[in-house]
Structure 1
Amino acid sequence: MHDFFEVLNYVNKIIYEPNRLPLERVQEEPQNANYGAGTFKIFSKTVRFRVGHVTPTKLGQFVVFWEKNDNNKNQPYRYDEATDLLVITTFKNETAFGQFIFPKEVLLQQNVLSSDATKGKMAMRVYPSWDTPTSKQAIATQKWQAPYFIDMCDASDSLNEELVKRYSL
């Protein structure tokens, strides 16, 4: 399931609607369609949305995020033009479901977004809490990503509070 509207509809019914997080200005991003790509707004926050891909040989989920420059070449998103949040929805079979909700400031610190001082990236691998990486790089990546991951299988009130906090700050 990687169609933007299909995944967003699922997430909306399971997460956003029950927590009164209204979606506005929903748009698909065709250049990254294989990754359920789109943008929308929740409250005052602009959101770039992606769906992680499970790959057959590596742990974690792969995701891309790039745009075309004036010369029609792929380039990383720039910090000064980036949405407030990058949300990467992850699935593990039919049993686990979660979201990474990265503020753009964190993406700049991690050299994901480009700026005058950083090159930026056009893709990365994310490691949900249910993954146990063994390589040093993957362990370090999961460590910086962990505070931004929410396991959506937890249907408690604390999950609701956390979602509202992250989307409406």
Structure 2
Amino acid sequence: MQSMDILKREFAHFERCDYEEQNEEYEGAVFTISEPNIRIRSRLGKKTPKKTGYFVAFWEKDETQKNRPFQAKNSPEKLVIVIRDSNKKGLFIIPKDAAVEKQILSTKDQVGKMAMRFYPPWCSGLNRTAQSTQKWQLNYFKDYSDTDL
């Protein structure tokens, strides 16, 4: 897993790590850390050839095997998006309440998202919508570019 070294650096010891097969391409996992005792869902962002930013999918199957956004009521306390792009690396650590506020997680009042782009500080030349997204995302970004990971 490309994301594991950054995750271990940030969160130290995992009590448990369960891989999410439906999002295997994005290294989907849910893990528990002991100090403090919280669950975290992680994904690896993927650079795409035609658009700036890093694409991430996060969804689950419902009872009829249709894809749906993760539900807030049973989601972990944090959503972590790991970015690795040669010497540029870091992670977005988004608390559950922010994921609800930004309509990433579904609730009874909102649909949620099954995928989106993430824009670390080195992404530039963005359109207005992407700039607006980057602005709130950067509040949750931790840069590891200058580390030996």
Return the alpha-carbon distance in structure 1 between the equivalents of residues 76 and 88 of structure 2.
27
1:53-132 superposed matches below 5 A: 53-92=46-85, 94-132=86-124
2:67 aligned with 1:51, yes or no?
no
Shift of 1:25: 1.1
Q: Deviations over 1:31-76 (max 9, x none)?
A: 0000011110122110101000000000000000000000000000
- RMSD value, Cα: 1.4
SS at structure 2 position matched to 1:72: coil
2:143 aligned with 1:151, yes or no?
yes
Q: What's the TM-score, normalizing by structure 2?
A: 0.91
Aligned to 1:35: 26
Return the alpha-carbon distance in structure 2 between the equivalents of residues 65 and 12 of structure 1.
18
**Long gaps (5+) in structure 1:** 1-5, 156-169
Identity among equivalent positions (%) equals 37
Amino acid corresponding to residue 77 of structure 1 in structure 2: F
2:123 aligned with 1:135, yes or no?
no
Paired residue total = 145
Amino acid corresponding to residue 77 of structure 2 in structure 1: D
The answer to whether the 8 Å contact 2:6/2:90 transfers is no
Change (3 A) 1:9 1:143: closer
2:21 aligned with 1:7, yes or no?
no
Q: Quick check: which one's helix share is greater?
A: 1
Q: Quick check: which one's strand share is greater?
A: 2
Amino acid corresponding to residue 21 of structure 2 in structure 1: P
Return the alpha-carbon distance in structure 2 between the equivalents of residues 8 and 134 of structure 1.
25
SS at structure 2 position matched to 1:10: helix
Change (3 A) 1:105 1:12: closer
Change (3 A) 1:140 1:70: same
SS at structure 2 position matched to 1:7: coil
Shift of 1:137: 0.4
Amino acid corresponding to residue 32 of structure 1 in structure 2: N
Shift of 1:154: 4.2
Return the alpha-carbon distance in structure 1 between the equivalents of residues 67 and 136 of structure 2.
26
